[in-house]
Amino acid sequence: MGAESAAKLIHHPPPVPIDSVADASVQLRRWRDDSELRCDRCDALIEGEPGGRATYVSTRGASEVHVEEQALCRDCAAQIGVSSLIAYMAREEEG
């Protein structure tokens, strides 16, 4: 391994997938054109700014937390936002 390759590994270590689904997701993103921005929920092409962002939080053990944000189209962002608001209001009425 040359000095240049070693330097790249120091600055950009290879990613280690958590599971096969995460690995497939990474491979799909690499396969797509980097200029395309697609909705994480419906896979629609997003032109311009995304309508919202989905935040995925996963943990490994008690100390490792992984947070990932993905783009959402306007329709999916609105649907998720409204359904979250309805669920929140239902819990408030019960409690």
* pLDDT for 48: 86
Which residues neighbour 36 within 8 Å (Cβ) at sequence distance 6 or greater? 45
Query: What is the pLDDT at residue 8?
Result: 47
Identify whether the C-beta of residue 52 lies closer than 8 Å to the C-beta of residue 83. Answer: no
Which pLDDT score is estimated for 75? 95
User: pLDDT by residue (tens digit) across 65-92?
Assistant: 989 989 999 999 999 999 999 999 999 9
pLDDT tens per residue across span 23-75: 666 566 656 556 688 999 999 999 888 899 998 999 988 888 989 989 999 99
Cβ pair 37, 69 in contact under 8 A: no
